[in-house]
Homo-oligomer: A and B are copies of this chain.
Amino acid sequence: MRIKGIEHIGLAVDSIDTAAPFWRDVLQLTHRGSEEVKLQGVNTDIYDTSSGKVELLEGTNPDSPISKFLEKRGSGIHHICFEVDNVESAMTELKENNIQVIGDNPTIGAEGYKVIFIHPKSTGGVLVELAEKPLK
């Protein structure tokens, strides 16, 4: 598997409006975009650091994984996402290594990336996302 770098860090926040000023105004990260990812039940607000992004994630319904995380642990770092060149082959390789992938197929995440998530059970407690950049 070829990891190309840290694509982003996902942060679970109670409210993007309340959380954004620290990242935008204090750290002065560049705002890159905001979008709803319906499949994951989240609103995203994405900032660029020049090398890796910060993604603020707010649940849009009580059943979204972000809402459940917030309920259980409160706001904080939710996951790390690494960019890979091919998410399908990464998934095959993970399964061969008996690593637990969440779901059977990649889904489409923010910014059109093709993504999979590795279960924290297989990583020592860290939710790890692998993402393949969409073709332009």
Contact = CB atoms under 8 A, between A and B. Distances in A.
A49 B6 contact: yes
Interface residues of A, number: 42
B52 A120 contact: no
Main DSSP-derived SS at the A contact region: mixed
A1 interface: yes
A50 B83 CA distance: 10
A29 B49 contact: no
Number of copies: 2
B4 A6 contact: no
Interface stretch (A19-27, A33-41, A60-68, A105-113): A19-27
Contacts of A97: 25-26
A126 B27 contact: no
Contacts of A128: 27
Interface string A72-83: 011111011011
A28 B51 CA distance: 20
Contacts of A89: none
Interface string A120-136: 10111110100000000
